[in-house]
Amino acid sequence: MRTAKISLALILPVLLVLSVAFAPLPLAAAPAHAAAVPPTAATSNTLALGAENGTTTSIHYANSTVYAYAGGNVSKLDSLTLSPTGLLVINFTKVVLSGSQVTLYVATNGYADHTGIIGTYLANLSTTAITSSTPTTITVNGVNYTLGNDAVIGPAPVAPGGKYWIKAYFGSWSVSYPDIVILPNIEISPTSGGAGTPINVTGYGFTPSTANDANLTWTYKVSGVTQTIYKLITTNSTGGFTTTVNAPEMKLNGITGSVTFRANDTARNMLTPTVTFTEQPRQFFQIEEYEPTTASWVTYATPTSPAYNGTLSSVKFYETEHMIIAGKYFDPSSTVTIYFGSSAIGTATTNGTGFFNVTVTVPVVSTGTYAVNATDPLAYIYFSGKTVPEIIVTPNTVTAGQTVTVSGYAFTAGKTANVTWFGEGVKYYNETYLATLLSIGSNGQFSTSVAVPSPIYGGYHYVYANDTGGVTAYALVTVNPSISLSPSNASLGSTVTVTLNGLMVGNETWPKWSSIAGNVTGSYGTTASTPNKYGLAQDNIPTYVTSLTGNNYGYATYNFMAAGYPMLHAIELVNETASPNVLAATAWLNVTGTTNTEAATTSALNQMSSQLTTMGSTLTTMQGSLTMLTSEYTNLSTAVGNLGSTLNSDYSSLSSSLGSLSSSVSSGFSSVSSTLGTISSGVSSIGSSLSSMSSTLSSVQAEAAQISSINSLVLATIVIAVIILVLEIVVLIRRR
């Protein structure tokens, strides 16, 4: 073992640039137990490398070489092969640890320095935890390691295939005494699923960057015959690879299968350990069908009790009814087609785990046994059962004499069928053919319209069908009471006959169908032998009769006199046995004719009609007068508006004329004043008088402008007089 001297100042920068992280494969943690290190396994300041002996707590140490699968267990110490393999043990007994933390590295040389390091194995391990006598478990990248008793125990580091040393830095350097040879290893995900499941295979510890270096194989059995598939893969620069393969189709019938994966590092001719994918068989984990006879869902398969290929054969198929089918472990992300016999009846798309759920309708087919297949692109599984012959009566709640449709399904193709009604009169056990020799189609179906027998007791009855091939089926029908009137239009005081049918007078027990409608099992018999009591009412008022019962056929008649106001009346059949009483049926009676009350009412109505007519005429006349007044008001309003406009116009014209006159007078007085200015000062008093007169005239003008109602002729005369007066004064002045 050699050591190298180097400055710590040079070491630390190198450590800071190391960035390759080697994450080991997830494996279970092991107990921390460090055995005494043999003198040949380590020297002073070196690390001892060993391994746990399989599932025991004893540890063996290597003198020269440890062989370990990348990210996995140690398989060999020197020449000692471990079976089973065990976790790697790094022992610090020969090392004097300083500082608070230890970091482990993978290096290509055995020098106790920073050289040759290719990546970090475990960083910042607690020195106290390593040297403690109490083991501590830590988790790094999802992988458990145990620290304690001067040792670190866990999976081997991940590195390209080859020989390496483990180095420890804790303020100073230490290196492993033995070397460690990294062997190839693989892991798969997921480890379980159905056929077609994508399986991711990841490889570690192979010879790096080598074309077709990893030879991946997977082996499985189909019907007892071993199948092996090969795939050559090129490794990357770190000696790893990732590839995806699909789980093969193993045609499993209710049992799991195994697919074994292994890879060979062809450059070194080294094999990885085997890993196993568990293939789950396809299964139906939900099968439910609607059963019309009980109006409920019948379950045939559940998640806790699934059905596998061909293991379920007791399904009852009710034609035209719904069936829920859910499957698991089918080909993921693919289309599953549901077949009933050879006919496709639905499709579904599986999710990423191969699950699907679909609701389908049972098709119309002839009687027989059928298989239901769920088929994906790789294979199919099936369950089977028999069709259930059935007849459907539409409607199934009826009255005597009503027309109904009887449809039969799952009968014998090409044969003929008869339809029979059971029960007309209580205790007579009548069997009445409703239809005979009906042709059955190739799909086992027939349909016919028939009339319910009349008279007939109310309650449960059976419609029965049988074909010449021996197939039989029945349906339950309920008969309700009915009421009819003869005549339905009757004059006051005339006789009306009420006919009642379907009255409840008891039910017959037919042993063949004793489980239906709560009938008593055993021989023929009757139930509810006490007839129900009925009453007749008119317009919700009990009027005619009470405690009326029917005969054994549920039939009764009653005569009454048409009464009441002439109009449409409701004649009601009331079940008085029910509590509270129940309206069972209604018929409508149109009563015609007249009564004294009607005549008086009619006269009063006619008088009111006449008064209303007179009032209407008066209102019409008033409306005409109002229209004329409105027109006259409009005309008057228009005339007033026109007069206002005319007055406004005249006022504006007068104001304009006065303004012009005032302007002319002012101009004349200005001229006179100019002439007087040239006359001698002897006449200044006359000029002053004229100015005073001019001022007076302006006042007169202002007053005249305010008088809008003075006649224009008077105004003109005044103006002329003023002008003459002025002229005379001027002449007088000139003469003087």
Cα Dmax for the chain = 174
Quickly count helices (H) and strands (E) in the chain: 5, 50
pLDDT per residue as tens digits for the range 260-292: 999 999 999 999 999 999 999 999 999 999 998
What is the Cα–Cα distance from 528 to 667, expressed in whole angstroms? Answer: 134
What pLDDT score does 704 carry? 39
Per DSSP, the three-state class of 374 is strand
What are the residues whose beta carbons fall under 8 Å from the beta carbon of 271, sequence distance 6 or more?
Answer: 184, 262, 263, 264, 265
CA distance 275 to 432: 74
Q: Is the dihedral of CA 109, 111, 115, 117 positive or negative?
A: positive
* Distance separating the N- and C-terminal Cα atoms of the chain: 166
> Can you name the residues that pair with 167 across neighbouring β-strands?
105, 175
Under the banding of pLDDT at 50, 70 and 90, the label for residue 12 is: very low
How far apart are the C-alpha atoms of 483 and 576, rounded to whole Å? 16
Half-sphere exposure of 224 (CA within 13 A, CB side): 0
Residue 733 pLDDT > 70? no
Between CA 589 and CA 490 the distance in angstroms is 7
pLDDT at residue number 660: 56
More confident residue, 9 or 616: 616
Arithmetic mean of pLDDT, 561-569: 92
Average pLDDT over residues 87-109: 96
Q: How confident is the model at residue 28 (pLDDT cuts 50, 70, 90)?
A: very low
pLDDT tens figures, 442-500:
999 999 999 999 999 999 898 999 999 999 998 889 999 999 999 999 999 999 999 99
Residues 279/222, Cβ–Cβ less than 8 Å = no
CB 555 within 8 A of CB 501: yes
Q: With contact defined as beta carbons under 8 Å apart, do 179 and 164 qualify?
A: yes
Residue 239 reports pLDDT greater than 60: yes
* CA angle (8, 13, 15) in 5-degree steps: 90
Classify residue 494 as left (phi > 0), alpha (psi -120 to 50) or beta: beta
pLDDT band at 685 (very low <50, low <70, confident <90, very high): very low
pLDDT score recorded for residue 527: 56
> Which range is least confidently modeled, 18-22, 474-478, 720-724?
18-22
Average pLDDT over residues 145-172: 96
Average pLDDT over residues 78-83: 93
User: Contact, 405 vs 434, CB < 8 A?
Assistant: no
CA–CA separation, 637 and 628 (whole Å): 14
Q: Residue 568 pLDDT > 70, yes or no?
A: yes
Closest CA to 588 of 453, 458, 496: 496
Dist. CA 136–CA 318, nearest whole Å: 65
Pairing of strands 343-349, 315-317: unpaired
Which tops the pLDDT comparison, 323 or 656? 323
Q: Which residues does residue 217 pair with via DSSP β-bridges, in sequence order?
A: 230, 262
Q: Where are the beta strands (DSSP E) in 292-389?
A: 296-301, 315-317, 322-328, 335-340, 343-349, 356-361, 369-375, 380-387
Predicted TM-score (pTM) above 0.75: no
